[in-house]
Every structure is written in C-alpha cells, then in structure tokens.
Amino acid sequence: MRRWRGYLLLAAFGICISGCGRKETGSELLTETKEAVKPVTEAVEPAAEQTEEGIALHIYSGDEAAEQIVQQTVHVEEVTEQVVMKELAGALGMDEAVGLAGLTFGMHGGDKVAMLDMNRAFADYLNRLSGAGERIVMGSLVNTFLDCYQCDLLMITVEGKVLETSREIYEEFLEMYDYVEASYRVREMVLSEGDISISCPQIEGLPDEEIQGKWNRIILGAEERAMDEWDASGTYEVTYEIKTMTKDVLSILMDGSFHAEGAAHPCSFKYTYNIDLNTGESIRLADHVSVDKVAENMFAGTGYYVEESLAPHFSERLKVIYESPGALARSLAGYDYSEDGSAPYGYSYLANGKVWLCMEVPHALGDYIEIELDAQ
C-alpha cells in the first residue's frame, strides 16, 4: 500500500502551472493536465529503509536481454532526487549528459503525483534508442521515482515542455510499468508417490550458478527426505508460494497438510526457505530483527498482527506456551534453517518489505499461525 510520507514546498511548481499555455508547454493536453494539479505545501520524504548496509533504494532497469524491467536494491548514504537519478542512470547506462532539471509534487483528484522535469539531453538520448529501449528507459524512470516517493502518477517533461520522441508524445500522467522483481525464475518440480504430492521449487536463470545449484540441492534434498520419512497411511500434500523474489532475496513459504488414516481431522504445517542471493546463505529471523524486542512486544500485545478472530486466543496461548519474553526470545533466535543443519524452532518469511512469522500453535488455532511484525 502506498503511503504519502509528507510533502515538498516548491514555489517553482506554482510558476510552472500558472498561466501555462500551448506556447509554453508545446501541448494543450499537457497544459490542462498540469493546471489540474493542486500543489502541495509540505515536504515529501522518500520512502527509504535504513539497513546495516545503508539506505535501501529500489532501482528499476532492463534485464540482461533488455526485454523486461526488473527491480534491484542498492544501498546509498542518503536519498535525494539527484542520488536517485545517479543510481538510475548508472543502472541504465545513460549518457553522462542526461540529468534531472527538477522534481515537484501535487495532488490530482485523489492521486498523489510527481512532476519530473528532465534536461534536453534526456530527450536526445531517448530518441537514439529503439522502441524497446525507449520503453525500458521510460518504465525504469517512472517506476523508480514512483516507488521511491510513493506516488500514484508521474508526469515527465523536458525543460517544462512536452516530451516527444519519434514514437510517442508523453502528454499525460504515467503509472507503474509492468516489471519483474528478478530476472531469474522459480519453476515447480512435482514429487509424487501414492498419496504423497510435493510441489518442490527449483531456481532457474540465476546469474550465480553456484548459489543456484546449492539451493536447488538443499530444497530438493529436504523435500525428498520428507517424502521418504512419511510412513503413515493417508494423504500428504505440500505447495509453495513465492513471498519475495528480488535480485537480492528469495523468500518461499511452503504450505503443507497431512491427513493420517483414521484421524478425525487433517493437520497443517508451514516452513520456509529464505535465501540471500548475494552470499548464498540462509537468512534467519535473527539476521534482520531483534528477537528480544519482538518477544517483549508480543508479550505486551503490540508490534504484531494476526487474523482478528484468532488474536485474543493467540495472545493467551502465547503466554501459556512460553511463560516469559525471555523464553520466547530464545525460541525466536532459533527460527529458520541455519548453515549447521540444526532443526529450526520455527520459521519466518519476507513479504512486501515486512517480516512474517510462521509459529506452531495448538491444533484448535490451526496448527500454525502467520504473524505480521511491525518491523521491516
């Protein structure tokens, strides 16, 4: 969900939209669109996340085949429009002369909008590209600034006038272009035998073939062992859902159920694979949150969300199971697969920039419960 983080007071914005005509913008439609924008009066801050490596910034660019727009994460010391433009230009391989003339914000109806004014060198650069290249550059520019400043619509002009190429006239607001969060793929390998069916995820197209091979072997080995160890009569099924798939991180939720013969009800279970695609290591819960703080918050009933109907029952059972925040923190510290192969106490995954827990609970609460943490 997009969040309006504040606003930026720019007197130049009012000058740009007041008294504009076709003579000034080169387009009556552009003039009308800009005149319908209500300037904002406070600062607009970028939606940036501080990490140990620096401020995380999403940059969009073309994949290696220049066929799709992909998202990648870079880390910077500060986020300004000039820093964003520099990182974007580097990812796209733009001419050094290409630059940003100005960035302003406003409201158009109920939409939060950004007005991006480029220099003339940008238009010249765009006109030298193929049609596919133009789409990649425009989509990457639009997506990067909409994502960074959490806006709904973006207008691109060149020195205050309409941007026109040999193929397109950009007179109206643009929305997010279609993109993929990574250039690699995850394909399904089905393992089945009798009443056992497991959807096993396998990575394809990862630039680092060593990391790809390592994790394909880990995942396939784990699922084959689960199949071999299931010795009860009855059904056993596992499916998976990709929760995060970026250049840097792959987070997969495995969702299973089994119904032993003669049992009154089926039972469910959940586990996850979280992979740092830069290092090839498993990402554990304790790598990105303070388990002590999470435990304290959960015992206090804050900092997390569960399904509303389960909330009061979960809070009660949590304190019965763990007795103290310290006991819960020790359990959380053992969440997710480790490199030493020890069995996890529970699991977590990453989705939409948030951390989620998969915690085992009594069967009456559903066997496993998914918990969204406030922490990013």
Per-residue pLDDT averaged across 143-149, rounded?
95
> Per residue in 105-132, pLDDT tens?
999 988 999 999 999 999 999 999 999 9
Q: What is the rounded CA–CA span in Å between residue 107 and residue 354?
A: 28
CA dist 190 → 110, 185, 198, 215, 239 (Å): 46, 16, 6, 17, 9
The pTM for the full model equals 0.57
CATH node for 181-283: 3.30.565.40
Per-residue pLDDT at 351 = 82
> Per residue in 189-221, pLDDT tens?
999 998 899 999 999 989 899 999 999 999 999
Per-residue pLDDT averaged across 357-361, rounded?
85
Q: Which residues of 143-160 are buried (b: 16+ CB within 10 A; e: fewer)?
A: bbbbbbbbbbbbbbbbeb
Q: What is the domain partition of the chain in residue ranges?
A: 11-170, 181-283, 284-376
Please, what is the average pLDDT of the chain? 85
